[in-house]
A = this chain, B = another copy of it.
Amino acid sequence: MRTIRYQEIANAIRERVQQGSYAAGRLLPSEAELSGEFDASRVTIRRALETLRDDGLVDARQGFGWFVAAEPLRQTLGQLVTIEGQMAESGVEAQRKIIEFAFISASGRVKAVLKTDHVLQVKRLNLADGEPFAVVTVWCPAELGQHLSRRDVERAPFYELLGVALRGATQTIGADSVSAADAALLGVPVGSPVLCCERLTTDVEGRPVLLSQHVFPAHRTEFVVELPNAAPSVAPSGLRLVE
Contact = CB atoms under 8 A, between A and B. Distances in A.
A29 B1 contact: yes
Contacts of A201: 241
A175 B239 contact: no
B11 A27 contact: no
A91 interface: no
Contacts of A28: 1-2
11 contacts: A10-B232, A59-B234, A61-B233, A72-B168, A80-B229, A160-B242, A168-B229, A173-B173, A174-B222, A175-B216, A193-B194
A195 B174 contact: yes
A26 B150 CA distance: 38
B194 A242 contact: no
Interface of A: 1-4, 7, 10-11, 19-20, 22-23, 26-30, 51, 54, 56, 59, 61, 65, 69-70, 72-74, 76-81, 84-85, 136, 157-160, 166-177, 191-195, 199, 201, 204-206, 216, 218, 221-237, 239-243
Nearest to A27: B2
Contacts of A73: 228, 231, 234
Contact of A7 (B4, B225, B232): B232
What 4 pairs across the A-B complex have the smallest Cβ distances?
A175-B218, A174-B222, A175-B175, A168-B229
A56 B230 contact: no
A142 B231 CA distance: 28
A93 to B, nearest CB: 15
Contacts of A136: 243
A28 B72 CA distance: 32
Given A76-B225, A77-B229, A194-B193, A85 B242 contact: yes
Contacts of A4: 27, 234
A164 B172 CA distance: 31
Contacts of A226: 168-171
B237 A79 contact: no
A96 to B, nearest CB: 10
B27 A225 contact: no
A211 to B, nearest CB: 14
A239 B235 contact: no
A1 B20 contact: no
